[in-house]
Amino acid sequence: MKKIFIAGKWKLGGGKPSKSYYPADHSENAEISSASLDDVDEAILAADAAWRHSDWRDTLPSEKATILFKVANLLEDKKTFLAKLQTRDNGKPISETMGLVNSAIATTRYIASCLETLDNELTNQRIKSVLTFTTYEPLGVIAAITPWNSPVASEIQKIIPALAGGNAVILKPAEATSLIALELATIFEEAGLPAGLFSVLTGKGSVVGEAIVKHPLVQKISFTGSTSTGRHLAHVAAEKLISTSLELGGKSPTIVFEDANVDIAVNGVIYGIFSSSGQACIAGSRLFIHQSIYDKFLDALIEKTKKIIVGDPEAPNTQMGPLVSEAHLNTVDDYVKMAKEEGGNVVTGGYRLTGENFDKGSYYAPTIITGLTNQAQICQEEIFGPVLVAMPFSDEDALVAEANQSVYGLAAGIWTEDYRKALDMAKRLEAGTIWINTYKKFSIATPFSGHKESGVGKEKGRLGILDYMQTKSIFLNLDETPNPWCEVK
C-alpha cells in the first residue's frame, strides 16, 4: 500500500484507501492509502510552522533556485519513469505524457530562473519627505488541488511558483491519479526542500480536499478542475476571505475561415479535439466551418479522423488512448446519445471501440457530429471526451455571437491566412487563450487563464510567483515634519 507524505515523513494515511487502475486494461496499478482528518490537520500545522519559522521565506533567491533546479534535474533523470507512471494512471499516450513531464521540467527551470529577477517596488515618491516602498511576502499555506487529466504538469505549475514565493504547499491530487503526486514528494525530499514545506494528502475531494480548503490556516486555494467544484471552492474561499486561483472547464470554439490552409487546419482541428481523447480543458469541441468550404472540409476531417491511431497508450506511435474510466466512457456515450435525440447526425465514431486491442479497456471512437446548432445541450456542456460538433457559418457577426454563446471562455482556435481578420477575431472572442493557425501550444512564460466560468485568476508567466504572495507597503518618514495633530497644542 502506498504511503502518504506529511512534512517529510511517509506514513499510512488513516483514511479509506483507494486504488489506481490502468485504463487500457483495468489492471490494478497500486493501492493508495488516504489521509484522515487528523492527517490533514498534522500536515497543515507542520506547513504553517515551516513557512513561518523555517528560513525558507528569507532564503536567498539563488539558494531557493538551487533547490528548484535540483527538482528539475531529478524530474529530468526520472522523465521516462514519470511519463510511464502517468500513462498507467490515466491512460494518456506515452508521447503526450513525455510532453507533460517536459513541461513540468521547463516550468521548474523557468520559475527558478525568475527568482533572481523579482524586484520589490520603489513606488512613486509623491510625498517628498516620505520614502515609500512595497515588498512582497508569502501568503502562508497554499492548498493545491488538481484533476486527473494532466497531473504532472498541473501539479508542478502550482507547487513551484508557490514554493518560490516562500509558501508551504499541501497537494491534494485527484483520487484516480495520486501516484505522480507521491513521486513528486520523493523528488522534493531528495532535492533537499526543508520538511513541512510540501505534503501530499491523497483521498476523496469531498472529504480530504474539503477538510484542507476549510482549514483555518490555509491562505489560498489553487485549484484546477471542474467548474462545479471550482464554484464550491469559491464559496469556501469567500467565507474565509482568502484568495483563489481557479482553472476550470471549457467548451472551446474553433473557427475555420474560407481562406484557411485546409490540410494544416484539418490536422490542427483534429489534434485540438482528439488528443488526450478529448480529456483536456482546452479541447476545441465546437467547430465552426465557413459555409463555402463546409462540405470539403468536413470530408477531409472525417477521412483524417478515421486514420487516428487509437490503441495501446504505451506504444510510441499511439495518438489516442482509452478514456480514464468506464464511468467516464458511459458519460461520453450518454452525451452522444443525447446529441442523436436532439437531431444530430453522427458522421464518424459514436461508439465504444471493441475487438482484441480494445475489449479490456475504456476505448471510445473519435466522434464527429453534425446537424446541430450551438444551442444544443451537447454544444453547451463540457463532455471531456473525443466528441466534436461541426457547424457551418456564413456571417461573421453571427459567428462571433455563437462562438461566445457559452458559459465558458477558456480557449479558441482561428484558422485563416488573413492575419488582420485573425487578430480582429482574437479581440472579439471571449476566451483566455486564442490560438491562430495552431492549437494547444503553450509557453510557461505566457499567462494562462479562463474567462467567464472557465476560471478566476491566472497561472504561469514571470509574475506567476506574485500570485502566491501579498504586498506590504512601507512608509518611512525622512524628515521631522510632524503629523497634522502634532501641531494641535
Nearest to 148 by CA among 311, 15, 279: 279
Long-range contacts made by residues 437-441, C-beta under 8 angstroms, separation at least 24? 437/261, 437/264, 437/265, 437/268, 438/268, 438/413, 439/254, 439/268, 439/269, 439/271, 439/272, 439/284, 439/413, 440/271, 440/272, 440/275, 440/280, 440/282
Residue 321 and residue 304: Cα distance in Å, rounded? 17
Q: Does 281 bind ligand NAD (CB under 6 A)?
A: yes
Q: Which is nearer to ligand NAD, 281 or 372 (CB)?
A: 281
Catalytic residue selected from 183, 210, 247, 402 = 247
Is residue 325 part of the contact set for ligand NAD (CB under 6 A)? no
Q: Is 325 helix (H, G, I), strand (E, B) or coil?
A: coil
Q: Using the rule CB under 6 A, which residue among 146, 276, 285, 416 binds ligand NAD?
A: 146
Q: Is 247 a catalytic residue?
A: yes
Q: Counting contacts by CB under 6 A, is residue 225 touching ligand NAD?
A: yes
At which residue does the C-alpha cell 484542507 appear? 212
Angle, CA of 403, 405 and 409, to the nearest 5°: 75
In 3D space, the residue among 323, 301, 311, 290 whose CA is nearest the CA of residue 369 turns out to be 301
Outline where 91-193 has alpha helix (H).
94-114, 151-164, 179-191
- Asked if 176 and 26 touch (Cβ cutoff 8 Å), the reply is no
Query: Does residue 206 interact with ligand NAD by CB under 6 A?
Result: yes
Binding status of residue 79 toward ligand NAD by CB under 6 A? no
Query: In angstroms, what is the minimal distance from the CB of 226 to ligand NAD?
Result: 3
Q: Count interface residues toward ligand NAD (CB under 6 A).
A: 29
**Residue in 145, 168, 269, 431 binding ligand NAD, rule: CB under 6 A:** 145
Whether 281 is a known active-site residue: answer yes
Provide the minimum distance between the beta carbon of 268 and ligand NAD in the complex, in angstroms, as a whole number: 20
For residues 130, 135, 139 and 142, what is the CA-based torsion angle, rounded to 10 degrees? 160
Number of Cβ within 10 Å of residue 63's Cβ equals 12
> CB-wise, 149 or 370, nearer to ligand NAD?
149
Binding of ligand NAD by 410 (CB under 6 A):
yes
For cell 458559459, what's the residue? 407
Choosing from 110, 188, 288, 384, the residue that interacts with ligand NAD (CB under 6 A) is 384
Q: Which is nearer to ligand NAD, 103 or 229 (CB)?
A: 229
Beta carbon nearer to ligand NAD, 202 or 370: 202
Choose among 219, 209, 215, 230: nearest CA to 35: 209
In the complex, the smallest distance separating the C-beta of residue 16 from ligand NAD, rounded to whole angstroms, is 14
Q: Among residues 149 and 244, whose Cβ is nearest to ligand NAD?
A: 149
Q: What's the min distance (Å) between Cβ of 326 and ligand NAD?
A: 15
232 counts as binding ligand NAD under rule CB under 6 A: yes
Residue 144 vs 168, nearer CB to ligand NAD: 144
Please, what is the minimum distance in Å from the beta carbon of residue 380 to ligand NAD? 14
Options 33, 86, 107, 149; binder of ligand NAD; rule CB under 6 A = 149
Q: Is residue 222 close enough to count as binding ligand NAD by CB under 6 A?
A: no
Give which of 129, 99, 50 is closest to 477, Cα–Cα. 129
Query: How far apart, in Å, are the Cα atoms of 164 and each of 63, 115, 223, 236?
Result: 11, 7, 18, 25
**Residue list 341-370, contact with ligand NAD (CB under 6 A):** none
Using rule CB under 6 A, residue 164 touches ligand NAD: no
- Closest C-alpha to 224, from 246, 205, 207: 246
* Residue 250 touching ligand NAD (CB under 6 A): yes
Segment interacting with ligand NAD, rule: CB under 6 A, options 88-96, 224-232, 253-261, 352-360: 224-232
Backbone angles phi, psi at 182, to 5 degrees: -70, -35
Residue 150 CB, nearest approach to ligand NAD (Å): 6
Helix (H) or strand (E) holding 412: strand 411-415
- For 139-262, list the strands marked E by DSSP: 141-145, 168-172, 198-200, 218-224, 243-247, 253-256
When asked if residue 20 is in the footprint of ligand NAD (CB under 6 A), the reply is no
By CB under 6 A, residue 226 contacts ligand NAD: yes
The residues of the shown chain that bind ligand NAD, judged by CB under 6 A, are 145-149, 172-175, 205-206, 209-210, 213, 224-226, 229, 232, 247-250, 281, 382, 384, 410, 450, 455
Active site residues: 247, 281
